[in-house]
Structures are given as structure tokens and as C-alpha cells.
Amino acid sequence: MKGLVLSLALVALSVLCAHGDVPVQPDFQEERIVGKWYGIALASNSNWFQGKKQQMKMCTTVLTPTADGNLDVVATYPKLDRCEKKSMTYIKTEQPGRFLSKSPRYGSDHLIRVVETNYDEYTLMHTVKTKGSEVYTIVSLFGREKSLRSELLVKFQNFAKEQGLTDDQILILPQTDNCMSDV
């Protein structure tokens, strides 16, 4: 466990040097962000995203507090003819609204920031994913409902572009009813 924390701290330090200007929600209130969210939009410069984005659809993500103060995150999304689940734990950092996560399965580290939220309608998140020497940017927009005001979609797109992402790296996820109710 000590090695994991040290590893995550080193990744966070190196990522902060490269992405220190990304804001975090002022006065972030973790207890208000828990619950069910719909994945509305996604943007990334990763090769994986570019290869999969034509097949991607809206998903659900549920945030649940853990006993040790972190967040369990379970995303459920349609894949072919079934529903897939992906689980992660967001480990709190000293800055509210900023989390670390590690994917042993894929060998990647994640620095996640809640950039902006009003808790009841939308959440805009920024993630830096590091895998070996590769560093990727991921911008996500979540909603409490399956659709959001057009101004929020524009805000998401503008923020993604401010992070260096291009139009072909930005995706408004197609709505679906698949895998939305078994969360």
C-alpha cells in the first residue's frame, strides 16, 4: 500500500508540473457529487479513444463514498449486446475536488479534477492519464439527466479545446436506453 501511495504521489507530482493550471471546483463538496450521473460527452487525445469513439454511447456512472473517505466509481456502458461495468476508486488528495486513481489492469495512473459542477445538473471533469511515458488528456461532461442545456455542451467543448483537444477528439455521446436502468 505504501508503494502504491508513493507511486500515485510521484505521478501526481509529474502531472501537476505539466497540467498545474487546470482549475478545481471552488469549495468542492464531495457529499453533493455522489450518486448517479449520465456520461454526456467525452474528449481525449488517446489513441484508444480515437479507435473506439464511433462505437461509444452514453453510460451511467455512480459515485459512492467509501469508509476511508474516498469515492468508489462504477461506470456501466453498452458494449455490443451486453452491459459492461468498469470500477475504480478515486483516492482523495489534499485538495478537495482532486483525486488519484490507478488501473492495475491497464497499468495507468489518473489525476482527476472536478473542474466545475452545480451538483444538481452537471459536472465537468479533467483527467490526466499516464501510462508509461504516454500522457493523455480526458475531459468528461456528466449530467444528472440524459440531456443538458446547450450552453453546457458549448462550455464542455470550449474547455476541451482550451486543454489542447481538437474537434475530432471531442464526442457528444449518443443517447441510449441500453444499460441505463440496471445501475
Per-residue tens of pLDDT for the chain, all 183 residues:
544 444 444 444 444 444 468 999 999 999 999 999 999 999 999 998 999 899 999 999 999 999 998 999 999 999 888 999 999 999 999 999 999 999 888 889 999 999 999 999 999 999 999 999 999 999 999 999 999 999 999 999 999 999 999 999 999 999 988 888 754
59 is catalytic: yes
Class (C level, CATH) for 2-172:
mainly beta
Q: How many helices (H) and strands (E) does the chain have?
A: 4, 9
Q: What is the pLDDT of residue 2?
A: 47
The per-residue pLDDT for 14 is: 42
17, 59, 83, 179: which one is catalytic? 59
CB 24 within 8 A of CB 114: yes
State the pairing for strand pair 71-79/82-92. antiparallel
Under 8 Å between Cβ of 8 and 134: no
Return the C-alpha cell found at 3: 508503494
Domain boundaries defined on the chain: 2-172
Whole-number Å distance between alpha carbons of 164 and 183? 34
CA dist 163 and 136 (Å) reads 11
User: What is the structure's pLDDT at 20?
Assistant: 60
Q: How far apart are CA 82 and CA 124, in angstroms?
A: 27
Give which of 150, 122, 152 is closest to 61, Cα–Cα: 122
Q: Is 110 within 8 Å of 134 (Cβ atoms)?
A: no
Helix (H, G, I), strand (E, B) or coil at 84: strand
